[in-house]
Chains A and B, each alone.
Chain A
Amino acid sequence: SQTIHQWPATLVQPVGSPLSLECTVEGTSNPNLYWYRQAAGRGLQLLFYSVGIGQISSEVPQNLSASRPQDRQFILSSKKLLLSDSGFYLCAWSVGQGYTDTQYFGPGTRLTVL
């Protein structure tokens, strides 16, 4: 069966510090991968998605970047964190051609920027 891991589970970082969040998927090949941010009362905002190694699409201009160095690894990064980067970050995966995709979510990372 497929599983998705995210780490760390929680993170407290000062403003201006770098960020690296990692997501890995097991039990499937060539998944579509997604990064979402969830802020209180604002639902889920899609940040990045990837359909393959080195293929990253950004949904919203921001202080963050994403990379996919391996087939089942997705990394969310920032060179300098802002207060507004605080939130709950969720990674998700899916397989398929799009219209029948079901996305499965990881446990999330709670990021607090102070």
Chain B
Amino acid sequence: AQSVTQPDIHITVSEGASLELRCNYSYGATPYLFWYVQSPGQGLQLLLKYFSGDTLVQGIKGFEAEFKRSQSSFNLRKPSVHWSDAAEYFCAVGAWSGGSNYKLTFGKGTLLTVNP
């Protein structure tokens, strides 16, 4: 069965600093990978996704992520963080789960705090 690990529960960065959120996955076949962001009390918004092709994926709000098969990683990056980026970030892997059932498995999330 697939799994996702986000090693950092909480990260604090200063506004304007660069950001990297880590995500490692476990899946036996080609994974379909996603990053979502959740503001407090809100639903999840899709930032970006990787299905195939170029391993560097661009998303909304200036985020990008790089798929590294050799490291089973899909880390999220942003060169300069804004205060409005403070939120919780979830990595997810989509995979077939028996027969024709497809499901997303989420990591436990990384809470990002941005200091002024």
Contact = CB atoms under 8 A, between A and B. Distances in A.
Contacts, number: 51
Nearest to A32: B102
A100 B41 contact: no
Interface residue tally on A, bucketed by range: 20 to 34
Interface string B40-55: 0111111001010000
B42 A108 contact: yes
Interface string A78-109: 00000000000010100000111111111110
How many B residues are at the interface, by size bracket?
A: 20 to 34
A98 B45 contact: no
B11 to A, nearest CB: 15
Contact of B41 (A6, A41, A101, A110): A110
A69 to B, nearest CB: 22
B100 A98 contact: yes
Contacts of A100: 32, 51
Given A41-B9, A44-B90, 4 more contacts: A44-B44, A49-B101, A99-B102, A108-B43
15 contacts: A43-B90, A43-B108, A46-B104, A49-B101, A57-B101, A90-B43, A98-B96, A99-B94, A101-B102, A102-B34, A102-B46, A104-B46, A107-B42, A108-B41, A108-B43
